[in-house]
């Protein structure tokens, strides 16, 4: 658990750490897969864009300036639209980046945390990590991806999202009264 560019969020960080410690075993028992090492970063929208861009670049293994600027631009746009994101890392651990400003209550944070931890569990399943890396590299124009592979990836992402939404009810075990 760490923070990125959000000074003065001590009580929020303590609450998030406590909820994360409670959520990991609940999700680990309920969701198929293996829980990887997970790092949770609490940040704001700007910090979220920076952390997502850095994580995507590390995952794709890209270092050229064009890819860097594209990753930063895409991450800024995505950070405006989402509350949190789980990203696999090259060492097969997972990074969960959460925008604390979009989570006014512990209940809302617990729901998002369960959702993102479900994605972290999905990364450990056979072929998922490789598929995510290939799609990230294709998105940056590093490697070509066939239309069939791109369609299959998008279909599987939709299935994984539906599964993560389906497990959000587990947040009730962490913070009673959480509604998915």
- The 3 state secondary structure assigned to the chain is CEEECCCCCHHHHHHHHHHHHHHHHHHHHHCCCCCCCEEEEEECHHHHHHHHHHHHHHHHCCCCHHHHHHHHHHHHHHHHHCCEEEEECCCCCEEEEEEHHHCCCHHHHHHHHHHHHHHHHHHCCCCHHHHHHHHHHHHCCCCCCCHHHHHHHHHHHHHHHHHHHHCHHHHHHHCCCCCC
pLDDT (tens digit per residue) in 30-83: 999 999 999 999 999 999 999 999 999 999 987 788 888 889 999 999 999 999
Low-confidence ranges of the chain (pLDDT < 50): none
Query: What is the residue extent of each domain of the chain?
Result: 2-174
pLDDT attached to residue 180: 57
| Buried-exposed string 33-62: b where 16+ CB fall within 10 A, e elsewhere | bebbebebbbbbeebbbbbbbbbbbebbeb
pTM of the entire predicted model = 0.95
pLDDT attached to residue 113: 97
Asked whether the beta carbons of 54 and 14 are under 8 A apart, the reply is no
pLDDT attached to residue 112: 97
């Amino acid at each position: 658990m760490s923070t990125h560019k959000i000074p003065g969020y001590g009580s929020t960080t303590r609450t998030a750490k406590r909820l994360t410690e409670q959520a990991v075993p609940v999700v680990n028992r309920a969701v198929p897969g293996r829980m990887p090492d997970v790092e949770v970063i609490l940040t704001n929208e700007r910090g979220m864009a920076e952390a997502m861009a850095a994580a995507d670049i590390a995952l794709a293994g890209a270092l050229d300036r064009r890819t860097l600027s594209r990753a930063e631009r895409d991450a800024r746009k995505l950070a405006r639209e989402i509350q949190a994101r789980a990203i696999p890392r090259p060492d097969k651990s997972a990074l969960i980046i959460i925008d604390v400003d979009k989570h006014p209550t512990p209940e809302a944070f617990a729901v998002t945390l369960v959702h993102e931890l479900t994605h972290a569990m999905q990364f450990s399943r056979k072929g998922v990590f490789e598929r995510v890396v290939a799609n990230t590299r294709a998105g940056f124009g590093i490697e070509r991806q066939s239309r069939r592979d791109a369609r299959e990836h998008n279909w599987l992402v939709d299935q994984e999202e539906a599964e993560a939404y389906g497990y959000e009810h587990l947040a009730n075990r962490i913070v009673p009264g959480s509604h998915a």
